[in-house]
Each structure stands twice: as C-alpha cells, then as structure tokens.
Amino acid sequence: MELKKLLDDYEIGGIGDIKKHTLRFHSYRIGTVEGMLTIFAEYTSGQFPITYKGYPSGQELLIELCNLNLELREKPLKECAEILIRWSLENIHPYYHYGDDVAALEQVDNDADQYWDMLVNVIECYSISVKDMVQDLEQLYTDTMTLFAIRSLMEGKITDAQRIYGEVRVPDEKNLLHAWYRADSVHRPLVLQDFIENIPKLKMGLEYDISTGQIQLQPVVKSVVDAAYFGLARFMAVNANALDDYGGKTNIAFCQACGKAFIKRGNRQKYCGTLECQSVRNKLKSKEYYYRKRR
C-alpha cells in the first residue's frame, strides 16, 4: 500500500503539516468498556510499537478514510471492529494519545519495556470505541462529499454534484441538494454558505518543537480523522497555503463504477484503478467502438 510509503517519507513543511508522533501496534484485541464494543492495542514484551514522525498526507488519508467508511456501512459492530483493527495494523493507531511524543523518546530507554506494558496493557491508553470511530468516519464522509458537491455546484456541474452526493446519508433538512433545489438562484449562494459554515471548525495551537527548539503554530490533531479534516480544508480553500503535500497537483475524483474516491492521474480519468472498475471501463469502451463502427 502506498500509504505506508508516504508514512515513511512524509516531509515537514509549512503550517498545516502535522508533526506529532504516531504509532503502529503489532496486535489488538476486542473487548468492552461499560458495555460498549472497544478495541484495545496490545503490547508484547520487547515488541515496541513502530513510531512515525507525523501523519500521512492529509489528502491520501482523506481518501483512505472515506473508502473505509463505505466498507464499514451496513456491517454489524463486531465486524467493524475487525475491519478497524486491520486498518490500524496496516496504517497507524487512529487516535493520538497525549504523550506519544515522549513515548517516542522513551523507547530507547532501559525501562521502555515496563513503560509500554503499563501504558498499553495496564492503563489501556490505546483503546478505541468502535461505535465512536464508525460515527467519526461517517461524519467525515458526509462533510467531504458535501464540500466536493458544493464545489461542483459552484462550477455549474449539477450532475456531478448529484453523483458525488448520492451516497450521503442525512435527514432531509440537512440535505444539501434538497436545500439547493428549493432555493432560487439569488439564495443559492446562501445555501452554500450555510452548509460550509456547518463543517467542523479546525483548531490551531502553539507547540514547542523539541527538535528545532522553536515555538510553532500547529494544527491541533487528536486522530486520523482530524488530520483528514485538515487535508480536506487545505484542498478546498483557495487561501490555504501549502495546498499540496507532495509537489504535483493532486486531484481527487470519484469512480463512476464503484463510487470510491481516488487520486486522478489524468484529467479525463473516470474510473478508479481496481481491476473490476477498469474492466467496466473497457467493456463500455468496446461497446462504444462497436456502435460507432456500425453507423
């Protein structure tokens, strides 16, 4: 998976890049906290979690998490727990725990073994409520699709907006397209303004950077979902500098066959890279060719 590579060579840049340490554990178990299904990271003596400097690129993370949400839908929580464990093992622990930066330093210490055992197995700092994370992901998905649909409406591409917004599940009074259709052309900008206003606010704060010895303004991020929201904001806003996390212009699009988000490699790419969707594309292409030839 490409994300793993991105985790390794994530570069430090201007405001908006998140430098907190993140962790990948080697195993998890499923349990409950006050009756709520919960997954717990496990620590086995000597097998330290892998430490990463920072979160992966916000945009790539955003795509991963939106697609993860589609995978979780309609599944019983137990199965969601298994899927979230798989994701965490392949990527990073989804929530930041206060002190992870210290933990990264402790790892070289003599007492590291005891330290991790205490933090992970005894105090259980690295536990995740399955229901909470499922809800966080659904919200992120809704907000992401809302913003992409808004951008299509702004560009006058109404069918695109409908397609993008198609899988969003919100009650009627929160439905962007319903509100937009109900408004006349004078009030439509106000509808867009209103929906953008309802996207969760991003938090910034001061941090002391140990490696450079400087005070810096940084995004306040407690989870991969927070990091994805920063990626989303920087992708959408015209005045968010360092718009791009890795050099070239990144274009997010939604596959016309399966609906998943993917990074567009060319301007006209309509289908994601999976074999199924590419075969849909090829079939349509050959049909088109057949009809053109017959005429």
Tokens in use for 66? 């939106």
C-alpha–C-alpha distance, residues 226 and 219, integer Å:
9
- Least gap, CB of 260 to Zn ion (angstroms): 5
- Least gap, CB of 176 to Zn ion (angstroms): 23
224-236 vs 58-72: helix crossing angle, rounded to 10:
120
Residue type, 21: H
What is the DSSP code string of 149-186?
HHHHHHTT-HHHHHHHHTT----GGG-HHHHHHHS-TT
Contact 65, 228 (CB under 8 A): yes
- Least gap, CB of 177 to Zn ion (angstroms): 22
Q: Is 241 or 279 the residue whose CB approaches Zn ion more closely?
A: 279
- Least gap, CB of 145 to Zn ion (angstroms): 16
Q: Residues near 164 by Cβ (< 8 Å), separated by ≥ 6?
A: 145, 148, 149, 152, 254
Which stretches of the chain bind Zn ion, using CB under 5 A?
255, 257-258, 272, 277
Q: Is 2 or 109 the residue whose CB approaches Zn ion more closely?
A: 2
- Least gap, CB of 276 to Zn ion (angstroms): 7
Q: Is 175 or 250 the residue whose CB approaches Zn ion more closely?
A: 250
Q: Is 227 or 252 the residue whose CB approaches Zn ion more closely?
A: 252
Q: Is 30 or 258 the residue whose CB approaches Zn ion more closely?
A: 258
